[in-house]
Structure 1
Amino acid sequence: MTNAEITSLEGRRFAVVGSGYMGGGIAQVLALGGATVALADISEEIAVKNYERLLTESDQFVADGLFPAGATELLRVNLRPAASIEEAVADAEFIEEAVPEILAIKHETLARISAAARPDAVIGSNTSTISIATLAEAVQGPERFLGVHYSNPAPFIPGVEIIGHAGTSAATIGTARGLVEAGGKHTASVADVTGFVLNRLQYALFHEAAQVVEAGIATPEDVDTLVRTTFGFRLPFFGPFAIADMAGLDVYNFCYASLQTGFPERFATPKILTDLTDAGKLGTKTGGGFLDVPAERLPELIAYRNRAYVGMQKLLDELGPAPIN
């Protein structure tokens, strides 16, 4: 089964093992998408308690306009607490493990899941830090196992990392991507390396920000202001490669050289950037770069960019400042 063949979650049977904040949010996403979802934890009592919490939470989200009208009623129909892990996964075609980030707990849980699940069930882990290959050691049928990493809060963050290990089948990756996308999310397939991609990028930014503060260059408040109001302002619309293409890869190449006067090792020019600039592929202005946007589409792209940024500022003005201070 490929992701192109999956258009709806209606009638599909899922299980989420781990009913806490992340697991509960994932269960809400899947159930609101139309799937029948069994929610399990270390005991039926905990699963029931968290199920009730999710319904109460949904009522508040509806009242706040964050969930559509009727969401809580739909959750009552599609989501249920299970008596045990084994009962939850018995007839599920997709199972998401979302227990604490402790290897022993995950191994024990994944062993129970894979022993009780259908042999053709896809099993995903919501781990954000642990090697998928290491987790797969506890799974019967490791070819059906992969990372399916939702972000917090799961109902409202649209991106999901799909992480296969060396033994994950292509069919498993395709099915997982299709099911997650049918639930209204965007997927990106990445390799099983330390930090995957999401956290590798997120922590790289935090690491540099922390060094700026430690060196007395700026305060945490000023760093956050710059990130929010400059390059971070672009990120809801464009990723780093699109931004680089629009800025000009020759400009990026020059900026790396400038940064190297102060930080020669930390800001070594990436080879993929040098290769493109040496080939005369400088981004949108030449019609070739990382994303190969045709030059004739540049006016359309710039017009979209400008509308997007004005729209973002209007949204921020409407919301007002975050209640941090």
Structure 2
Amino acid sequence: MSGQQIAVVGSGYMGGGIAQVFAMANASVTIADVSPEVARANYDRLVAETREFVDAGLFPADAVELVRANLRAAESIEQAVADAQFIEEAVPERLDIKHAALARISAAAAPDAIIGSNTSTILIGSLAEAVERPERFLGVHFSNPAPFIPGVELIPHSGTDPAILPVVEDLVAAAGKETARVKDATGFVLNRLQYALFHEATQLVEEGVASADDIDTIVRTTFGFRLPFFGPFAIADMAGLDVYSFCYTSLQTKWPERFATPASLSALVEAGRFGTKTGAGYLEIGAERTADLIAYRNRAYAQMQRLLYELGPAPIADPGDEQQRFATPATEGAGQ
């Protein structure tokens, strides 16, 4: 990313992490905030935090040098964005605050500068109302903590120029992140899925089916264990869409509307597309790749179990709580 000029407006926890990511990728990054004093204080914090992450083995050994060389604090938003090719807005999640920041950004930036917003909840079309030349504006949603979570949602609004999407994809990929394109819809994808899971989890607690601790254990040790490697459609295809259809029917004996069978699932099952066992389901996974997929799956799960065993339990519960302990990997050295 050498030669790339990037500005991050809003240098707090999220904005600062995004700035770190780009600076370590060797872009020239300028941060701005409500005052030059806040921006400078956050610059000092980011350097100190980078050093802590290096000492902990979380960042590469040259990260401090990269951040010092590539990151600077501006006196104002206008100064930060003046020469930037890409600008990421990361101010607090309030429409009025974002509108004010985006109006200043777009007025001071070069006409061809691309502007992204790190919003997680506000429709991009609503934010675009404050942007001059809104065709160069889109959502670029990093996740918390930005230095360590690899996924980034890209959300164009109805007026976004499609030509800027591959430019932003390349920029984010050069910083070591993986992008997915998402339409401008309430909740986007990440939060719509995350809050759907949380809602059902709270229902289970409120119904007395299981405690919050036990639900967390079930999620992280069963279907959540798969999620670093496979999304819900790959998991369903491997399980068998005919099996999923049967399970929906079972759930409907108690909640016929809440767990109504998705129309797309019924259509695939009726067409005989059951997933990997038939060579196609939601995804096109040919039968010739099934053996390699299963081998990858087993190796991935075995290595994840070893990693969790090496890390030990998260410091949430009492260390003596057996419910929070990880089992010893069943096969020492499996998946090497």
Which of 70, 84, 92 matches 2:62?
70
Once residues 261 and 179 of structure 1 are traced to their aligned partners in structure 2, the CA distance between those partners, rounded to angstroms, is: 49
1:44 is aligned to 2:21: no
Which of 284, 298, 302 matches 1:292?
284
Q: Percent identity among equivalent residues?
A: 69
SS in 1 for 2:179: strand
Q: What amino acid sits opposite 1:135 in the alignment?
A: L
Larger relative contact order (C-alpha < 8 A, sep ≥ 6)? 1
Which of 50, 53, 64 matches 1:61?
53
Q: CA deviation at 1:143?
A: 0.4
1:214 is aligned to 2:221: no
Q: What amino acid sits opposite 1:278 in the alignment?
A: E
Which of 109, 132, 139 matches 2:131?
139
SS in 1 for 2:166: helix
Q: What amino acid sits opposite 1:52 in the alignment?
A: D
Which position in structure 2 is the counterpart of 1:126?
A: 118
Cα displacement string for residues 85-122 of structure 1 (whole angstroms, at most 9, x for unaligned residues): 00000010000000000110000000000000000000
Once residues 111 and 263 of structure 2 are traced to their aligned partners in structure 1, the CA distance between those partners, rounded to angstroms, is: 44
- How many residues align? The count is 317
Once residues 234 and 265 of structure 1 are traced to their aligned partners in structure 2, the CA distance between those partners, rounded to angstroms, is: 27
Once residues 14 and 181 of structure 2 are traced to their aligned partners in structure 1, the CA distance between those partners, rounded to angstroms, is: 20
Which position in structure 2 is the counterpart of 1:153?
A: 145
Which of 207, 221, 231 matches 1:229?
221
Once residues 166 and 113 of structure 2 are traced to their aligned partners in structure 1, the CA distance between those partners, rounded to angstroms, is: 13
SS in 1 for 2:163: helix
Q: What amino acid sits opposite 2:203 in the alignment?
A: Q
Q: CA deviation at 1:43?
A: 0.7
Which position in structure 2 is the counterpart of 1:175?
A: 167
Once residues 173 and 214 of structure 1 are traced to their aligned partners in structure 2, the CA distance between those partners, rounded to angstroms, is: 43
SS in 2 for 1:29: helix
Q: CA deviation at 1:153?
A: 0.3
Q: Superposed, which structure 2 residues align to 1:1-325 within 5 Å?
A: 9-325=1-317
Structure 1's consecutive aligned runs of 4 or more residues displaced over 3 angstroms after TM superposition are none
- When the two structures are superposed, what TM-score results if normalisation uses the length of structure 1? 0.97
SS in 2 for 1:39: strand
SS in 1 for 2:216: helix
Structure 1: any 5+ residue segments left out of the alignment? 1-8
Structure 2: any 5+ residue segments left out of the alignment? 318-336
Once residues 152 and 99 of structure 1 are traced to their aligned partners in structure 2, the CA distance between those partners, rounded to angstroms, is: 14
Once residues 200 and 160 of structure 1 are traced to their aligned partners in structure 2, the CA distance between those partners, rounded to angstroms, is: 15
Once residues 291 and 78 of structure 1 are traced to their aligned partners in structure 2, the CA distance between those partners, rounded to angstroms, is: 42
Once residues 114 and 2 of structure 2 are traced to their aligned partners in structure 1, the CA distance between those partners, rounded to angstroms, is: 17
Q: CA deviation at 1:10?
A: 1.4
Once residues 217 and 235 of structure 2 are traced to their aligned partners in structure 1, the CA distance between those partners, rounded to angstroms, is: 20
Which position in structure 2 is the counterpart of 1:3?
A: none
Once residues 134 and 243 of structure 2 are traced to their aligned partners in structure 1, the CA distance between those partners, rounded to angstroms, is: 46
SS in 2 for 1:191: coil
Q: CA deviation at 1:133?
A: 0.2
